[in-house]
Amino acid sequence: MILRQILRLSSLFHSAVSVHLRRNIGLSAIVFNKTKELDPVQKLFLDKIREYNTKSKQAGGPVDAGPDFQKDMNESLARLQRAYGEGDLTKFPEFKFVEPQFEETPK
């Protein structure tokens, strides 16, 4: 009887460990996947993203944006400033939340 319980517990432990190991091996295969082992389309996509990232850092903004883009952006910012007031519209607004003052009223 004790032997059966030990065998049952060992089989449960074995199945739990095997599931855990299979999941970890599957995830580690994805994590350690090298770019040279990628599909050629995926590799091309990643190369283009990295190339755009380096170009945008060098340009300090959008890549291959001509004078038309800058003109359209300035017109859009002017239209938004007329609609919503002054301020720098290229920055995210800062919010300041003040704790409400609750007064206790006598009963």
Identify the domain containing residue 34 by its residue range: 1-60
7 belongs to a structural domain: yes
Residues of the chain with pLDDT under 70: 1, 3, 5, 7, 9, 12-14, 16-17, 19-21, 23-36
Q: Is residue 16 part of a domain?
A: yes
C-beta of residue 54 within 8 angstroms of C-beta of residue 47: no
Q: In the prediction, which pLDDT does 35 show?
A: 47
Residue at 72 is within a domain: no
11 found inside a domain? yes
Report which residue type is found at 106: P
pLDDT of residue 26: 61
Residue 69, domain member (yes or no): no
For the entire predicted model, the pTM comes to: 0.38
Kindly tell me the sign of the dihedral angle through the C-alpha atoms of 82, 88, 92, 98.
Answer: negative
Give the total number of structural domains in the chain: 1
Q: Is residue 4 domain-resident?
A: yes
| Domain-located, residue 85 | no
Q: Is 97 helix (H, G, I), strand (E, B) or coil?
A: coil
- Predicted confidence at residue 27, as pLDDT, reads 57
In a domain, 12, yes or no: yes
